[in-house]
Structure 1
């Protein structure tokens, strides 16, 4: 059974490992993942130690399979990581739907995500879920020692029809 819930502090190491594995897959061909692995791992651990209480976790039958976060607790999705072995199984879609519901419930009308422009899998995933390109940018990434192109994608969120206040004339 698939469930989404808030993370527990004792899951930080597990969540960092999932994030790291998914990150390595996402940067394949873009960066030297092995050379950057330790820095990436420490970044995941640092972020999760500071924000674990606001991280959404998805799992099946009690096993954690992915997580997502909104670092600034606004409409921007900063993280969405699914264990590579279970990607393309619907878990990312379920986690994204939960995030979008939270974003809308907290009064934000749009969900925004940013990824590197060569991350075709992530771009395709978000397009499939109604996101469209809203920005393109290039910025110097010190950790990569080069410019990296990024793509921003946005989805306008609406309450489900059943929950909207409809007025009939």
Structure 2
């Protein structure tokens, strides 16, 4: 059974481990994992140490299996990570639903995120959940010593009201 809740401070290391495993899967073939692993691990640990209180955690049968975050608590989803062994079991969908509900409650009308353009699993997941491409960018990454394609995705969270008068827009 999947349960969604707020993260707890003592889970920072376990959440960072989940982030690392999912990140390694996401950048496989795009980046030199050995060269970037320590920087990525430090980035996950630093982010989670500072922001654990705003992170949403997912458990599968009582075991941590994923997490999501909005670093600035705005309309941008900055993190959504599911442990590879727990993927395709509804955890990502449950996390996304919880993050979107937070955004609607905070009066955000749309949600956005970005990933690298070759992250086929993430692109498929977010498209399945109603996200569409809003931008594509290519920029040089000094860490990777090459150009990296990034893609921005967006989804309206609030349906547009019909224009005009009355319930049918007349």
**Would you call these one fold, judging by a TM-score over 0.5?**
yes
Q: Which region of structure 1 is more displaced relative to structure 2, 8-17 or 32-41?
A: 32-41
Per the alignment, residue 162 of structure 1 pairs with none
Per the alignment, residue 21 of structure 1 pairs with 21
Deviation at 1:36, TM superposition (A): 1.0
Q: How many matched pairs?
A: 163
Per the alignment, residue 158 of structure 1 pairs with 158
Deviation at 1:156, TM superposition (A): 0.1
1:20-59 aligned within 5 A: 20-59=20-59
- Runs (4+) of structure 1 moved beyond 4 Å? 166-169
Q: Distance in 2 between matches of 1:99 and 1:148?
A: 27
Deviation at 1:142, TM superposition (A): 2.1
Q: Distance in 2 between matches of 1:154 and 1:10?
A: 33
Matched residue SS, 1:76: coil
Q: Which segments of 5 or more consecutive residues in structure 2 lack a partner in the other structure? A: 160-165
Q: Distance in 2 between matches of 1:44 and 1:151?
A: 21
* RMSD value, Cα: 1.6
Question: 1:104-131: CA deviations, max 9, x gaps?
Answer: 1101000101000010110000000000
- TM-score between the two structures when normalised by the length of structure 2: 0.92
1:141-156 aligned within 5 A: 141-156=141-156
Q: Distance in 2 between matches of 1:84 and 1:60?
A: 13
Q: Which segments of 5 or more consecutive residues in structure 1 lack a partner in the other structure? A: 160-165
Deviation at 1:167, TM superposition (A): 5.9
- TM-score between the two structures when normalised by the length of structure 1: 0.92
